Amino acid sequence: MTTPDNPAADWTGLAAPGLDDLERMARGAVADLPQPWREAATHVALRVVDFPPDDVLEAMDIADPYELTGLYEGTPLPEKSVMDQPMGPDVIWLFRRPILDEWIDRGDVALADLVGHVMVHELAHHFGWSDDEIAAIDRWWE
């Protein structure tokens, strides 16, 4: 902690936010959504891992794993049909290390706000939100 006598921060015993920390932040962003989105968003599975899997990077033609902070895996609600065979749950993936890297590079935003922004972006894929709908929920989108 900084004091007037010691302006340098004491980082002893501190560690980078872990997977559980980012998951809590993402779930907090869902809890802050307006209804009816809040309840519906709880039905999307959430996975937080350090990096995107290699096969995902290959499929998306991404060479640098730090370029992908999140991913929606599933069929967007507007495209679903009662005739569809269940394919498993829709999943939002958050990638901790790329999110932390972007947070450090920005240096001007709280980590929970960045995680919330990524989460809302991925939920937009799930719900099929327009840019205007996203902007109504996530002020960063404006």
How confident is residue 8, by pLDDT bands cut at 50, 70 and 90? confident
Check residue 115 and give its pLDDT: 97
Is 120 a member of any domain? yes
Q: Is residue 53 classed as helix, strand or coil in its secondary structure?
A: coil
Is 59 a member of any domain? yes
Is 67 a member of any domain? yes
Is 3 a member of any domain? no
**What backbone torsions phi and psi does residue 92 show, to the nearest 5 degrees?**
-110, 125
| Domain total of the chain | 1
Is 7 a member of any domain? no
Is 11 a member of any domain? no
Check residue 29 and give its pLDDT: 95
Is 14 a member of any domain? no
Domain around 32 = 19-77+87-141
- State the Cα angle at 91 between 89 and 94, rounded to 5°: 165
Parallel/antiparallel/unpaired status of strands 45-49 and 70-73: unpaired
Over 90: is that where the pLDDT of 130 sits? no
Q: In what order do the strands lie in the sheet with 45-49?
A: 45-49, 91-95, 70-73
Query: Is the model's pTM score more than 0.75?
Result: yes
pLDDT digits (tens, 9 = 90+) for 66-99: 999 999 998 766 666 666 666 778 999 999 999 9
CA distance 35 to 100: 29
Which residues face 92 on adjacent strands? 46, 72
Interaxial angle between packed helices 96-106 and 111-127, expressed in degrees from 0 to 180 and rounded to the nearest 10: 120
The amino acid present at 57, given as its one-letter code, is L
Is 1 a member of any domain? no
Domain of 123: which CATH number? Answer: 3.30.2010.20
First to last CA, the chain: 36
